[in-house]
Amino acid sequence: MVDPLDRQILRHQRKGLLRFIVCGSVDDGKSTLIGRLLCDAKMILEDELAAVAEGCARNTSGEREIDFSKLVDGLAAEREQGITIDVAYRFFTTGERKYIVVDAPGHEQYTRNMITGASKAELAVILIDARKGVLRQTRRHAYLCRLVGIRHFVLAVNKMDLIGYDEARFRLIVEEFGAFAERVGIVDVRAIPVSGLRGDNLFGARSANMGWYDGPSLMDHLESVEVDATSDQAKPFRMSVQWVNRANADFRGFAGLISSGVVRRGDSVRVLPSGKMSKVERIVLATSDLDCAVAGQSVTLTLTDEVDCGRGDVIAIADDPPEVADQFEATIVWMSESALLPGRAYWLKLGAQAVTAKAQGLKYQVNVDTLEHVAAKTLQLNAIGLATLSTDRPLVFEPYAKDRSLGGFIVIDKQSNATVGAGMLNFALRRSQNIHWQATALQRDDRAQLMNQKPAVLWFTGLSGAGKSTIANLVELKLRRMNRHTFLLDGDNVRHGLNKDLGFTDADRVENIRRVGEVARLMTDAGLIVIAAFISPFQAERDMVRRLMAPGEFHEIFVDTPLAAAETRDVKGLYKKARAGQLKNFTGVDSPYEAPNDPELRIDTTKLSPEEAADLVIQLLIP
């Protein structure tokens, strides 16, 4: 006979789980609604509720009004300002289901937090203040939730008590949101009039204040909405390797979370991106072995063959593996105050894979109000755009619409290590598969040997007027006298030809240096000593050029001249124009300059003559 307590525990374990997010504009009442749900679900302890009630004001009848938002606003700053700042996760359960509810911030500046919460949700409750109607944030949140793959939506029109439970107002809001939802492809929407503060249509029977409403309460709908919890198990098997487990000299297992499918002992699997084949020997869970494991389980697999497999690789079923590519079309949501700059190298993390990625170009930016596709060269904070991405090595992936785990990624700034964007891979671009390196009979070492010199790049960076070109010219003359083969790339000269289509925005400056870097690399392949004189204001692009060269070939030379001194040498009159507002995006005036972090050589032009500076550069190159 089963113990009643064991029966209850077993029943609880068998309940389905629904993850849903509540999002809306500031002061729409998200925290109040969630707090009320938790309270009605008996998930709040009596002493906790009493403590909150004690701190609240009395209403006109002398009773204390409970501020339910204080039950979920955990940060002191949230309680002080009455807003949600960070994503909060709360767990509760009913007789039918277990729930994880995500309380997402409403401020536009916290959009990144909202996306984080939405990325794992199966249903979105879009909350609207009945007095304000559909706002820009409403459309933004609905669009983003649809973008990250949420298919089920609830339109909760809140604060109905403040508009006298007006049916006409409710219908108007539903109609307006419905038109927008249809345009972005949201199909499953349930509109419910509610009052988070009064509890109307939240839990149990429909509110007597809205006799005209004949639908379910919010909880009744959440209890009944159909979410296919086993859909991931029906997909082909995939597991990203998080860690290679060497428990002892005789054991080598690959640990990770199974993101989709089922794996059994003896299954033929493929390790990607290498494509090596093997079979599953053991499925280890803690101290025991399993015959099979399913999506959602974290296990360690051992294989029958000694294949090369490490962190970031993906183990997949052999006859239906995911794709491998290095160029993609991707949708990007930008989350940083610093704009996305096409051509700049960022870290891209997809599961346990980390690669260097560049946005090669932006196809368009989405206007979330009108859903228009707007031409854009960069993405600013909270902007959403479509871009072509390239990575420095192949990435194992699935289109996001097919698999969130292998299709969703984050973008990390290489300088600050801050997460600056998130995105979804749409599909691979096949161009790279039709382009291959052509082997040449002569190698770069052969060409350098013919010239009797070692190729190098002398990269001069500094403000306009710092003296880069003057010193670079002297360096080339001195090297010529030493029978060295050189070529001087000057910032002004390349803009007359190779880069004449580029302007001086941050994005154009990045592309300018990228092209020059590629040219410099080709010239070092030819055996030349390349002398490059460019303002090159950003450290990221100077590092990018360094990575193009062989180790030891790139020499960063910082021509360190203070802005005031550079302005006094304004031979071209550029500073004067910039100060007068006639020249935009001028480095040092209204565009930033990032001084080198650790240059090979720093030249203080306030203390050295150009001749002395050129001699120092020669000593750097030929000690």
* Catalytically annotated residues: 536
Contact between residue 316 and residue 270 where contact means Cβ atoms under 8 Å apart: yes
User: What are the residues whose beta carbons fall under 8 Å from the beta carbon of 296, sequence distance 6 or more?
Assistant: 232, 233, 257, 258
By the 8 A CB rule, do 181 and 153 touch? yes
Alpha carbon dihedral 158, 162, 168, 174, in 10-degree steps, equals -20
CA atoms in the 13 A half-sphere facing the CB of 121: 33
CA distance linking residue 60 with residue 47, whole number of Å: 24
Alpha helices of 23-166 — where are they, by DSSP H? 30-40, 46-54, 76-81, 111-118, 136-147
Q: Specify whether the CB–CB gap between 326 and 432 falls below 8 A.
A: yes
Structure tokens, 622: 């030929």
Contacts of 587 (CB under 8 A, 6+ apart): 463, 464, 535, 537, 593
Calculate the alpha carbon distances from 168 to 162, 197, 209 in Å.
Answer: 14, 21, 14
Alpha helices in 119-265, H assignment, sequence order: 136-147, 167-184, 218-224
- Backbone dihedral angles phi then psi of residue 196, each to the nearest 5 degrees: -65, -35
**Where are the alpha helices (H) located in 1-110, listed in sequence order?**
4-14, 30-40, 46-54, 76-81
What does the alpha-carbon distance between residue 156 and residue 192 come to, in Å, rounded to a whole number?
5
Tell me how crowded residue 400 is: count the other CB atoms within 10 A of its CB: 22
**Selection from 262, 412, 400, 244 nearest residue 322 by Cα:** 400
> If you search the block for the tokens 């500076």, which residue do you land on?
613
Length of the chain: 623
* Phi and psi, residue 47, nearest 5°: -70, -30
- E strand intervals along 367-454: 373-374, 384-397, 408-412, 419-428
CA–CA dist 290, 272 (Å, integer): 24
Question: For residue 594, what are the CA distances in angstroms to 153, 287, 533?
Answer: 46, 53, 16
